[in-house]
């Protein structure tokens, strides 16, 4: 590989590291994706481990996680027994899939928390007025959270129906059209 190209890739991979760490993301997973994204051909675990100067075991564990996110896929390379991978190059799809997955997990966690809280709260037998008031306040607050949860679920359903994807794609098309219609300066 040309040294200048390797240097440019190293700078890109370093910046990906910085960005991902600010979002609390695993930097090895991000670097594996970025490396595959920049590659013109599928890469083996050996190729990726060598290029990123990480162990093959670390490359293996992390590439499988990236694969589960749908950001990379395993591909067959004729004449080789090794596992090769290539990146999903539609970054908007990768990001939206990740956001959707994370949102669904959080919504499910909140749903479980609400159910268990209501179950426990409904089993409490109050013996005095002060306790009854505390129970009623707790129920009111849970009801407000339940409403917020319902709204979040509705918003998530819109994501799943592709509404956000359509909005993003229309904004991208709009930007592209604006950049095309700009007259050059003489």
- pLDDT score, position 137: 92
- pLDDT score, position 13: 82
Cα distance between residue 179 and residue 164, in whole Å:
23
- pLDDT score, position 24: 58
Residue ranges of the chain whose pLDDT lies below 70: 1-2, 21-25, 162-166, 168-169, 180-186
- pLDDT score, position 142: 92
Which residue's entry shows tokens 């490359």?
59
Query: Residue 130, by phi and psi: left (phi above 0), alpha (psi -120 to 50) or beta?
Result: alpha
Q: DSSP code of 126? A: P
- pLDDT score, position 155: 79
CA angle 114, 116, 119 (to 5 degrees): 105
Two structure tokens written together for 19: 């960005």
Architecture of domain 3-89: Orthogonal Bundle (1.10)
Cα distance between residue 145 and residue 130, in whole Å:
23
- pLDDT score, position 181: 62
What residues does each domain of the chain span? 3-89, 92-180
Q: Could you tell me which of 23, 31, 40 has the C-alpha nearest to residue 62?
A: 31
């Amino acid at each position: 590989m040309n040294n200048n190209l390797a240097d440019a890739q190293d700078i890109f991979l370093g910046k990906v590291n910085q960005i991902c760490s600010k979002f609390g993301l695993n930097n090895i997973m991000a670097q594996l994706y970025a490396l595959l994204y920049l590659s013109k051909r599928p890469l083996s675990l050996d190729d990726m481990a060598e290029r990123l100067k990480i162990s093959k075991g670390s490359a293996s564990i992390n590439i499988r996680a990236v694969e589960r996110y749908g950001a990379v896929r395993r591909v067959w390379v004729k004449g080789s027994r090794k596992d090769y991978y290539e990146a999903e190059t539609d970054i908007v799809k990768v990001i939206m899939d990740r956001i959707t997955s994370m949102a669904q997990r959080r919504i499910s966690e909140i749903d479980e928390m609400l159910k268990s809280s209501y179950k426990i709260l409904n089993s409490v037998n109050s013996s005095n007025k002060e306790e009854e008031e505390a129970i009623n306040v707790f129920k009111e607050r849970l009801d407000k959270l339940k409403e917020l949860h319902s709204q979040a679920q509705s918003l998530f359903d819109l994501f799943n129906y592709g509404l956000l994807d359509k909005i993003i794609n229309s904004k991208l098309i709009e930007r592209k059209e604006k950049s095309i219609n700009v007259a050059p300066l003489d």
